[in-house]
């Protein structure tokens, strides 16, 4: 079976058709910059463009960078606040002419990693963290997803952790790997104290350079590994949700 996965982020919106038996993309992904301002109408238009770019008429799944319940957005930390309480599933469905399943972006990435990537066969507590515009989180216990966790908003030194530990923070502050990784380590120590995960999977675009920073992490007892699907995990998880094989609403 195949489905189209669309991954909506604070800086980019990307999509591709996915083979749900293997988790592999069936075509080169297409990426469009997230509109500014990232209003519901503007983002919905990009979703429509991506669907048309692949001439897609099958099932569609989409992620959203915030809490999603029943297809409706509840939080919008890194996109326009007018998204809050909007029915994203209905908006996307009207624009594309088909049903669209919508779920939290980190949840989608986590489900993909647990099915096809670094979390396959891992029991106990697994935490997926995506480092991008913000920090997304997906928590699993014995393979079962705890939906809509927002551990990027844990307070560290009086601020949301993602203000110091995201890839965006690294780039905007001009931090090198050492300076940034010190902040990520401090954040992970806080998370570990709360959750005691057996495995931490780190994803997002910066996971492509995992060899430059994961070895620098310190003070964490859990095993830490980069996402096997890297920044495609959200696309794969969105497609899985569309087919009813992930935790979408």
Residues 153, 163: Cα–Cα separation, whole Å: 9
- Going from the C-alpha of 153 to that of each of 164, 221, 232, 246, the distances in angstroms are 11, 22, 23, 24
Residue 54 lies in a domain: yes
**What is the domain range of residue 43?**
2-107+232-242
Same domain, 94 and 79: yes
Same domain, 165 and 184: yes
Same domain, 132 and 98: no
Residue 116 lies in a domain: no
Same domain, 126 and 215: yes
SS3 225: strand
Residue 13 lies in a domain: yes
Residue written as token pair 């993909």: 112
In whole numbers, what is the pLDDT of the chain averaged over residues? Answer: 96
Residue 248 lies in a domain: no
| CATH number, domain with residue 147 | 3.30.420.40
- Quick check: 50 and 43 in contact, CB under 8 A? no
SS3 6: strand
Residue 94: which residues within 8 A CB-CB, separation 6 or more?
A: none
Same domain, 45 and 126: no
Res 62 pLDDT > 60: yes
Residues 16, 51: Cα–Cα separation, whole Å: 9
DSSP state of 242: H
Give the pLDDT mean for 225-231.
96
Same domain, 8 and 44: yes
pLDDT band at 188 (very low <50, low <70, confident <90, very high): very high
Torsion of CA 106, 112, 231, 4, to 10 degrees: -100
Res 247 pLDDT > 60: no
What whole-number percentage of the chain has pLDDT above 90? 98
Residue 112 lies in a domain: no
Same domain, 19 and 38: yes
DSSP state of 176: -
User: Which element (helix H / strand E) includes 91?
Assistant: helix 88-96
Residue 196 lies in a domain: yes
Residue written as token pair 């910059």: 33
Same domain, 178 and 128: yes
Same domain, 168 and 212: yes
SS3 129: strand
Q: In what order do the strands lie in the sheet with 223-226?
A: 144-146, 135-141, 125-131, 199-203, 223-226
Domain count, the chain: 2
CB atoms closer than 10 angstroms to residue 97: 10
CB atoms closer than 10 angstroms to residue 208: 13
Q: What is the pLDDT of residues 90-139, one digit of tens each?
A: 999 999 999 999 999 999 999 999 999 999 999 999 999 999 999 999 99
What whole-number percentage of the chain has pLDDT above 70? 98
CA-based angle 155:234:184, to the nearest 5?
A: 30
Residue 151 lies in a domain: yes
Q: Is 26 exposed, middle or buried (0-12, 13-18, 19+ CB in 10 A)?
A: middle
pLDDT band at 245 (very low <50, low <70, confident <90, very high): low
Same domain, 170 and 220: yes
Same domain, 129 and 223: yes
Residue written as token pair 């620098």: 216
Same domain, 217 and 237: no
Residue 113 lies in a domain: no
């Amino acid at each position: 079976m195949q489905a189209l996965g669309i991954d909506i982020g604070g800086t980019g919106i990307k999509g591709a058709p996915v083979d749900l038996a293997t988790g592999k993309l069936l075509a080169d992904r297409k990426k469009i910059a997230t509109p500014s301002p990232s209003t519901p109408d503007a983002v919905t238009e990009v979703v429509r463009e991506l669907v048309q770019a692949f001439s897609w008429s099958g099932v569609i799944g989409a992620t959203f960078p915030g809490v999603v319940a029943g297809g409706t957005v509840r939080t919008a930390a890194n996109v326009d606040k007018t998204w809050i309480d909007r029915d994203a599933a209905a908006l996307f469905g009207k624009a594309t002419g088909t049903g669209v399943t919508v779920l939290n972006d980190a949840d989608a990435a986590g489900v993909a990693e647990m099915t096809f990537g670094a979390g396959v066969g891992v029991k106990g507590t697994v935490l997926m963290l995506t480092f991008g515009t913000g920090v997304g989180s997906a928590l699993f216990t014995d393979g079962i997803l705890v939906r809509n966790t927002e551990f990027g908003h844990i307070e560290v030194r009086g601020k949301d952790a993602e203000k110091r530990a995201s890839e965006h923070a690294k780039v905007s502050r001009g931090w090198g790997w050492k300076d940034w990784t010190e902040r990520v380590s401090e954040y992970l120590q806080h998370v570990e104290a709360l959750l005691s995960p057996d495995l931490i999977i780190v994803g997002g675009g910066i996971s492509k350079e995992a060899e430059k920073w994961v070895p620098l992490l310190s003070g964490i007892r859990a095993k830490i590994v980069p996402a096997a699907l890297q920044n495609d995990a959200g696309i794969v998880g969105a497609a899985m949700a569309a087919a009813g094989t992930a935790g979408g609403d």
